[in-house]
Amino acid sequence: MRRLAFAAAMLAGVSGIGAAQEALRPYQVVGDAIPQSLTGQRGEPDRGRAVVVSRQSTCLLCHSGPFPEERFQGDLSPDLKGTGARWSEGELRLRLVDATRLNAATIMPAYYKVDGLNRVASAWRGKPILTAEQIEDVVAYLATLRD
Amino acid sequence: MLLSLLAVLLLAPAHAAEIPQAEKKSGYDFMTPETKAMQDELTSNPGMLTVLDGEALWNRKTGAANRACADCHQDASNSMKGVAARYPAFDAARGRPVNLDQRINACRTERQQATPLPPESKDLLALSAYVATQSRGMPIAPPDDPRLKPFREAGEKIYELRQGQLNLSCGQCHDQNWGKKLAGATIPQAHPNGYPLYRLEWQAMGSLQRRLRNCLIGMRAEHYEFGAPEYIDLELYLMSRARGLPIETPAVRP
């Protein structure tokens, strides 16, 4: 079981179902945040939760959080519980879009970035891990995690 | 100035620092008691079937030369003891290192005048498992051959390279986060001391290259063709990182 879940997570790459190919929306970093929504719209928290727990998104490879139904959660990084109390939406957005801007050595992948990566498998090349809409949904969801 | 230098040092990725000898752990050490017992008991170890197939192939005459491995090397428990603990080794004819599988295939084509065995084929895994099993329990001891150095360094570069859509390096998981959970799996230290091995997830024997390919696919990085020089270079580096750990072939892994 444990092995299957890991395989499913690690092998999600094979199917190549990534974010659709489209030009990245421009954004502006102010301090340690991206204050404006990437889409100009507010995300939808329920959809955001579904993105976070989906094996395709890879969040739970490293993070754990308030997901009692998910048996396999990682412990390489902070628990997502309470992130909405620790960070503003703009700060969360930058951490998802490109956490390496805050800590070059971080192991957290940049979820909305296609440049500066090495040897990306062809199924994923030129595509961000998440779409702009998915980023906004995840930001909206994480903002609800207040305790 | 001093402070910013200090900050740079503290923020620098903790790479290059290999795992200290006293903290080196085989993948075995992270397994459940049940899986450890499956590896330890040769009667229940599923890899032993492959080793027995390998023994039969060792003694079987084949190829246009109609010669068996045993005709040149006699008793493997003697002639092959320690070989897996020091491979990959430099091959003067190719001007680069070869691993055990490539050495076995060189003997097949040159000495037995037979066709080379395809990567991951049942017979190649069997012969390589049989040869490696002769070193079971012996510490990994890479040779001090200066010709290997540039290839080992090339392997280390691949190991440290952040790659794939997830932008991870091997070292970020296996040096910086070993022992922690990646979803449901405990991250081991990436030691190559049990291969070929029986992996429960595969329900089959597989080579080190199959394992490396799995990790690369997980990182959403391009993987290499089986037998690619990059895999041999990585293997050299992994063997030098694993110096002193015992060969466990045929190991069992989750």
Q: Residue A130's domain is classified under what CATH number?
A: 1.10.760.10
Length of chain A: 147
Using an 8 Å CB-CB cutoff, list chain B residues near A18: 165
Is B217 close to A3, i.e. CB distance below 8 A?
Answer: no
* Beta pairing partners, A33: A30
Q: Tokens standing for A62?
A: 């490293």
Q: Which residues of chain B does CATH 1.10.760.10 include?
A: 2-41+141-253, 47-133
When CB atoms are compared, the residue of A11, A58, A74 closest to B217 is A11
Candidate from B5-19, B66-80, B133-147, B165-179 with smallest mean pLDDT: B5-19
Is A118 close to B221, i.e. CB distance below 8 A?
Answer: yes
CA atoms within 13 A of residue B248's CA, in its CB half-sphere = 26
8 Å CB contact between B111 and B66: no
When CB atoms are compared, the residue of B167, B180, B217 closest to A10 is B217
Confidence of residue A5 (pLDDT cuts 50, 70, 90): very low
Q: Using the predicted structure, report yes or no on whether residue A109 has a pLDDT greater than 60.
A: yes
Query: pTM to 2 decimals?
Result: 0.91
Q: For chain B, give the percent of residues with pLDDT over 90.
A: 93
- Interface size A-B, in CB pairs within 8 Å, comes to 109
8 Å CB contact between B157 and A48: no
Tell me: domain B2-41+141-253, CATH 1.10.10.10, correct? no
Residue B12 Rama label (left phi>0; alpha psi -120 to 50; beta): beta
Q: Active-site residue B215, yes or no?
A: yes
A132-143 and A45-53 helices, crossing angle to 10°: 100
When CB atoms are compared, the residue of B167, B177, B183 closest to A73 is B183
Domain that holds residue A66: 2-144
Burial of B182 (0-12, 13-18, 19+ CB in 10 A): buried
Closest to B127 in 3D by CA, of B99, B161, B159, B157: B99
B47-133: CATH topology is Cytochrome Bc1 Complex; Chain D, domain 2 (1.10.760)
What does the pLDDT look like over A15-45, one tens digit per residue?
Answer: 444 455 568 999 999 999 999 999 999 999 9
- Interface residues of chain B, partner chain A, Cβ below 8 Å: 11-13, 161-168, 172-173, 176-177, 180-185, 187, 200-201, 214-215, 217-218, 220-223, 254
Q: What is the mean pLDDT of residues B53-70?
A: 98
Candidate from A74-78, B18-22, B25-29, B181-185 with smallest mean pLDDT: B18-22
8 Å CB contact between A74 and A62: yes
3-state secondary structure of A140: helix
8 Å CB contact between B7 and B152: no
Q: Using the predicted structure, report yes or no on whether residue B17 has a pLDDT greater than 90.
A: no
What does the pLDDT look like over B96-147, one tens digit per residue?
Answer: 999 999 999 999 999 999 999 999 999 999 999 999 999 999 999 999 999 9
* Average pLDDT, rounded, for chain B: 94
What does the pLDDT look like over B67-102, one tens digit per residue?
Answer: 999 999 999 999 999 999 999 999 999 999 999 999
Q: What is the mean pLDDT of residues B164-178?
A: 98
Confidence at residue A147, expressed as pLDDT on a 0 to 100 scale: 85
8 Å CB contact between A130 and A65: no
When CB atoms are compared, the residue of A3, A10, A104 closest to B218 is A10
Using an 8 Å CB-CB cutoff, list chain A residues near B217: 10-11, 13-14, 121
Residues 6+ apart with CB under 8 A from A54: none
- In chain B the first and final C-alpha atoms are separated, in Å, by 49
Confidence at residue B16, expressed as pLDDT on a 0 to 100 scale: 54
Q: What is the mean pLDDT of residues B202-225?
A: 98
Q: Which of residues 84-143 of A touch B (CB under 8 A)?
A: 100, 103-105, 107, 109-110, 117-125, 127, 129
Using an 8 Å CB-CB cutoff, list chain B residues near A71: 184
* Average pLDDT, rounded, for chain A: 89
Given the residues B72, B170, B173, B215, the one annotated as active site:
B215
B214: closest CA of chain A, how far (Å):
8
A7: closest CA of chain B, how far (Å):
8
When CB atoms are compared, the residue of A14, A73, A76 closest to B217 is A14
8 Å CB contact between A134 and A119: no
Instruction: Name the residue with tokens 């062809």.
Output: A122
Is A120 close to B164, i.e. CB distance below 8 A?
Answer: yes
Confidence at residue B43, expressed as pLDDT on a 0 to 100 scale: 94
Confidence at residue B15, expressed as pLDDT on a 0 to 100 scale: 46
Confidence of residue A6 (pLDDT cuts 50, 70, 90): very low
Is A11 close to B214, i.e. CB distance below 8 A?
Answer: yes
Alpha-carbon distances, residue B141 vs A142, B92, B152 (angstroms) = 50, 20, 14
Number of folded domains in chain A? 1
8 Å CB contact between A146 and A85: yes
Helices (H), chain B: 2-11, 33-40, 47-59, 69-73, 76-79, 83-86, 100-110, 122-133, 149-160, 170-174, 208-218, 229-241
B193: closest CA of chain A, how far (Å):
21
Confidence of residue B18 (pLDDT cuts 50, 70, 90): confident
Helix (H) or strand (E) holding A141: helix A132-143
The residue of B220, B223, B252 whose CB has the most chain A CBs within 10 angstroms, and thus the best one to mutate to test that interface, is B220
Q: Tokens standing for B70?
A: 């045993």
What does the pLDDT look like over A46-85, one tens digit per residue?
Answer: 999 999 999 999 999 999 999 999 999 999 999 999 999 9
